[in-house]
Amino acid sequence: MKNPFEKMPTILLADELIDKAFRRAEKAASSFTPRGNKISKARQREELRIRTVSNVIRDNLRKILDRTPGVSTLPPFYQELVDTLVDRKMFHKALASVNWAIKTIRTLEERYVEKVRYSRDPNEIAQLRRQFYGRVASVIKDIADNLEYLNKARDVLKDLPVIDLSLPTIVIAGHPNVGKSTLLRQLTNAKPEVASYPFTTKGINVGQFEEHWLKYQVIDTPGLLDRPLSERNEIERQAILALKHLGKVIIYIFDPSEYCGFPLEEQMHLFEEIYEEFKEFPFIVVLNKVDVADEEKIRKAEEFLRAKGIEPIRIVAKEGLGVDEVKKKILEILKPELEEEISRVS
């Protein structure tokens, strides 16, 4: 799947759109050779200017509407992100104003073309065209703020992540440097693609693996699920909530060696916050770097997790040790659901 806002065009601001339309009209008029008497020539030239201005502006505005997807038609994951990044009501209002401008300018075009055709005075005909220009400029200036808003919204929305929403997705969480990207590479046996994502500086890492003819997607979200939720601002929390529409399973990684730079107690605290936030999800918890970790720390983490009814898996992601067990656990959780979905569709 592509970014649904990928084709949203660059949006000209009010003055840019007006200047473009007026320049195009003058160019068309200068290369046009009218026929007939003085009055007929004036009518033809000014009608051409009026229609050119109308067409240029309406074509540019129509492109915005045609290439901008309806938010309510998007998958829930993208709806949540749009709500996070832009004010949906304001976004709809801005698009509605563009639609209003298209209709209004079309009405003005027909009205002034009719007036030009009935006029028998070349000076009046020129005056009618100037009036039309003024009315059109006024309409575009009325939506100037909305055009500016849509332009800024486009700059944000074009950076939405490109993720295959048709695949069951496993989200990896845990403090920085605990081995998330290493585990992702081991699970997917490939260098993960990096997709842009709002509120992260590195972009999310996306990888896929196939097992028994079924595909699975694994993502790591640096900057999102790697520090306490209590430290987040409201926008960041909303971005995290968007992941609920994407993931099927959470893999949470502990580093009992503490080489990641975070004490085990701090890792436990973050786990409790993520576990509470995503409590409707099945969790797979792994203890990484067990080859260099103190056995006492490993057991402390295991006791903490078993008290919550979770049996952790010991791994050394860098060496690939325990990765097959992690993959087996993923399949145990997801395969029955996938097979049920496939049988339902067929």
Reported as a single tens digit per residue, the pLDDT across 208-259 is 888 777 788 898 877 778 888 777 777 677 677 778 888 889 999 999 999 9
Within-domain flag for 162: no
Ramachandran quadrant class, 29 (left: phi over 0; alpha: psi -120 to 50; beta: rest): alpha
Instruction: Report which of residues 67 and 222 the model is more confident about.
Output: 67
Q: Which of 135, 157, 179 is the last residue of a domain?
A: 157
Q: Is the pLDDT score of 159 beyond 90?
A: no
- Mean pLDDT to the nearest integer, 254-279: 94
Residue with tokens 């936030």: 277
pLDDT tier at 338, thresholds 50, 70, 90: low
Stretch 102-123: mean pLDDT: 96
Domain containing residue 251: CATH number: 3.40.50.300
> CATH code at 87?
1.20.120.1190
d(CA 282, CA 21): 57
214-220 and 204-211: which strand pairing? antiparallel
Helix (H) / strand (E) element for 203: namely: none
Residue 102 pLDDT: 98
Which DSSP string do the residues of 86-102 spell out, in sequence order? Answer: S-HHHHHHHHHHHHHHH
Element containing residue 292 per DSSP (H, E): none
CB 116 within 8 A of CB 187: no
What is the rounded average pLDDT of the residues 265-287? 93
Domain hosting residue 316, numbered range:
169-345
Residue where a domain stops, chosen among 111, 136, 157? 157
183 and 245 both lie in a single domain? yes
| DSSP category for residue 281 | S
Separation between Cα atoms, residue 262 and residue 246, nearest integer Å:
28
**Per-residue confidence band for 97, with pLDDT thresholds at 50, 70 and 90:** very high
- The tokens describing 330, both together, are 């993923």
Coil/strand/helix, residue 12: coil
Structural element, H or E, at residue 195:
strand 193-195
Please report the pLDDT score of residue 54 as a whole number.
97
How high does pLDDT run on average in the chain? Answer: 89
User: Residue 98 and residue 147: Cα distance in Å, rounded?
Assistant: 8
Our count of domains for the chain comes to 2
Summarize the confidence of residues 19-33 as an average pLDDT.
93
In a domain, 233, yes or no: yes
Last residue of a domain, one of 129, 157, 185: 157
